Structure 1
């Protein structure tokens, strides 16, 4: 037992075993490493392990800054223009606050239990950090503050499980029954509406962009530009072989009967185009065109709000020629590259095509992402320090002493620094794997610290409230989703796959969107998910102090 009572060993053992348990899956529901870590930490905490508050605060600051940094670009974009879906994040916050307030009055919950119910039911682990800091500012003695923090962790661990089950089952099973829709069929129809016939959305095992060679056949006599326009510029004739010569094809090049054409484009578009061409032949020597890809941040103002196909038309025939958008990432999630997909500021576009074409298009569309895997620790360190400074500011409002605290300050700083990096990507580089590690390890370490400290009081709280917390976890998780379903379906007339994705996002539930994508056999729900996720991921953590203050006032 000596090793288990060592704080460092207990911390890493909680993380290791917690993430192992988190891999267990029951149907569409997976517990996840964070909740698994809390369970293990609560168990080991029965041995009386003590962990430094400084370690807990450092881990949370690292996590919450990284969370803000990754959400910053999309958060500010959606604040300005995304409230059609962002209304669901407000529904989530207001409904959960109201239900937690009602439960606090009915069952006499203390501030820790109420905040734990809020965090667990909304499946937003970041609330634990902001709520815990708010508890520390209540002016209570150490024993009482420790009791409330223990209740916070325990209530979260109990309600999180049931909240997670509720949102996953509601989105994938109950909501489709209410809407009377087949998710896969609805996603297919919406995909066709957005132009999936020109993409390879439903065949992910095959390459989306290909190069193939054909004899000219029926297109002889027309120009390269005329042929490409007939294919809506989804196919480019990059080169052609005429006799023994390999010729670079321009838009004014006239195609002759014996030419062999080398085509580059989307696989489905080339399959469709081959009916207008002669027989397919092996790519001749010298016919292959060097292909490259490049990632950039979309920053061209007149491209914001355009669909992929509208952007191609606006680019003109020369600029779009030989270059394709092969990937779009928003909030580090891939969204379908469909002709009807709407582009937003801060989207990460992957351009694919000839080097000259890709370079030319990149200069027009945004900022090229620097090819580096080095973390800018100057940027990171200054960002967190700025966040701590912001969090330390306070002002009086009557009898209330209002402050963002460490968590809220670091979150705001992360949002601003993430927005700055979007505009100046060569500075302040935080590679995606580094950000993911900061979020995963920072949150896991913080949760482990909370669980280890709360361990001795966990059994007491569970015995005190029995089935009340699990049932409340189900109710408080499902009711906001039901309200959003009614608003989105009856009032806003949003298509089912995007609506359910938005509901998963308002809940900040990665397991829910994963299950939804699997159920619908399409990435289309992610389009709605990214908007509400960006907003809820900021609003919900900021509610930690609000819940603590509300519960204290209602007692």
Structure 2
């Protein structure tokens, strides 16, 4: 592409950065994958040598949409975990404290400017959103425009170099080195925890079981004759449900008070392990039916406070048998990650539970748990617009602490507004529709458009910074990544007594590293690390971006 064409039509440079960047980011080397964000940044830095520049207004709008959507989708989980998930949440605080201390120490040692220090924070913590909040903070330092442009370019360059090495470090540490330090076989540990939670065999994250954990069978009553349906279901912990009763070619409505007779043909449905236990006691299996019982499947946002922190087994045991009868949890989704729906799995407010059962059973269960998530593709732009406006207004607030001017900026304001508006949506589901697919496109396109814009504007400053510091930036990225990971490993195991798979998942989450959790799940062979990952990921996704202005302010103050 000619430099003149790119400089006169910057939209070509923008979309070329996105297309080529995502293509490059899609390649994997073992468990390592750059991803679209880093790929876009690298391409934008190269194309930026042509002089192509994207309007600052577009850059600011894209970042505001990205970070509002980030807060919106994480709001329910953030507020659910900020207090009760304290053992995992403490690791996010460890991440924040250690990362800030390391960044300030390295900045003093290498005499870094505020932009380079903030870029190391973003890259070492593998949190791209810091680029936006730090860039805004640099713009408020009151420096000449040329100096502001140079510092903002330093943020991007330091991020791109340190992110590469930070990413490799956290992936290898969480999946390979940490188990060696703890002297455990990670796959064996994960299988033990899986079985402790009530799982039967291992299932990797993202895989679909060849055999469903829920099943139905048609049986001819023998041993259960004389027992009522309610007694039968209670005997097996209400993990099975009699869905249909056929007696002398007449269909009888299945109710707990109905007494079964020898020769009745009944359809029993429920969790497979309970069904296997129940069949010999009930009678003989009839091999011609039962597979059509589960006719309704619905996603429900959990909002019931009494359910928060309970395992699925505890929730079923505490439920009124009449209310919980015939409805089963087939899947638990938390922050777009699938958490294993095992009897020992703890559920949290903000989880999305996939309920399976007859239509009336699912509707009854949904009313007790929270609210049904409607299958809509429409976005409530009134709610979205008001949320972004509230974030912009919040970002204009500032305070002076210890001689340092601190302000949330548009990024921090929109993040906090997104959290609150996402929480409001979870409490009042009739307003604020933002389907997950729409939220994802806002996050992906918003962030990568912003990243491409700042990469294009970095220009020749990128090469200057790399020549100036050389190998120091990659080494600093490794140190900033490894420091909090090692501290969390010690604190999580020795003091908090966390199970190893969940602890390593939490370490991946405190770094907001999707490649790390993917590698972990591949090594463990099941989804147990995701349980720890989702909590720290939700909290760190809020705390780390807010550190951008703090580091810029501290480093500029310290000289």
1:173 alignment partner in structure 2 = 176
2:349 alignment partner in structure 1 = 345
Answer with 395-404 or 153-162: which moved more.
Answer: 395-404
1:32 alignment partner in structure 2 = 35
Q: CA–CA distance in 1 between the matches of 2:255 and 2:201? A: 24
Conserved in 1, the CA contact under 8 Å of 2:191 and 2:201?
A: no
**71, 79, 87: which is aligned to 1:84?**
87
Conserved in 2, the CA contact under 8 Å of 1:221 and 1:255?
A: yes
CA positional deviation for 1:413: 0.6
**465, 469, 492: which is aligned to 2:496?**
492
CA positional deviation for 1:270: 2.1
In structure 1, the gaps of 5 or more residues are none
1:272 aligned onto 2:277:
yes
Answer with 245-254 or 382-391: which moved more.
Answer: 245-254
Normalising by structure 2, report the TM-score: 0.96
2:454 alignment partner in structure 1 = 450
1:434 alignment partner in structure 2 = 438
Q: CA–CA distance in 1 between the matches of 2:481 and 2:320? A: 48
CA positional deviation for 1:212: 1.8
Conserved in 2, the CA contact under 8 Å of 1:362 and 1:368?
A: yes
Q: CA–CA distance in 1 between the matches of 2:170 and 2:203? A: 30
The change in CA–CA distance for 1:122 and 1:200 in structure 2 (over 3 A counts) is closer
2:268 alignment partner in structure 1 = 263
1:46 aligned onto 2:16:
no
The change in CA–CA distance for 1:203 and 1:456 in structure 2 (over 3 A counts) is closer
2:149 alignment partner in structure 1 = 146
Conserved in 2, the CA contact under 8 Å of 1:370 and 1:426?
A: no
1:238 aligned onto 2:243:
yes
Conserved in 1, the CA contact under 8 Å of 2:510 and 2:537?
A: yes
- Three-state SS of the structure 1 residue aligned to 2:320 is helix
Normalising by structure 1, report the TM-score: 0.96
2:196 alignment partner in structure 1 = 193
- Three-state SS of the structure 1 residue aligned to 2:258 is coil
CA positional deviation for 1:300: 1.6
Conserved in 2, the CA contact under 8 Å of 1:200 and 1:208?
A: no
2:396 alignment partner in structure 1 = 392
- Three-state SS of the structure 2 residue aligned to 1:275 is helix
CA positional deviation for 1:200: 7.7
* 1:104-503 → structure 2 map (5 Å cutoff): 104-197=107-200, 204-283=209-288, 288-289=292-293, 291-397=295-401, 399-503=403-507
Q: CA–CA distance in 2 between the matches of 1:203 and 1:348? A: 18
1:523 alignment partner in structure 2 = 527
CA positional deviation for 1:398: 5.9
In structure 2, the gaps of 5 or more residues are none
1:291-318 alpha-carbon deviations (Å, 9 max, x no partner)? 2022222122222221111111111211
Q: CA–CA distance in 2 between the matches of 1:367 and 1:252? A: 29
- Three-state SS of the structure 1 residue aligned to 2:379 is coil
The change in CA–CA distance for 1:262 and 1:246 in structure 2 (over 3 A counts) is same
1:58 aligned onto 2:54:
no
Conserved in 1, the CA contact under 8 Å of 2:406 and 2:550?
A: no
Equivalent pairs counted in the alignment come to: 554
Q: CA RMSD in A?
A: 1.8
1:99 aligned onto 2:98:
no
1:544 alignment partner in structure 2 = 548
1:79-129 alpha-carbon deviations (Å, 9 max, x no partner)? 222221111111111111111111111111111110000000000000000
Answer with 486-495 or 204-213: which moved more.
Answer: 204-213
Q: CA–CA distance in 2 between the matches of 1:290 and 1:81? A: 34
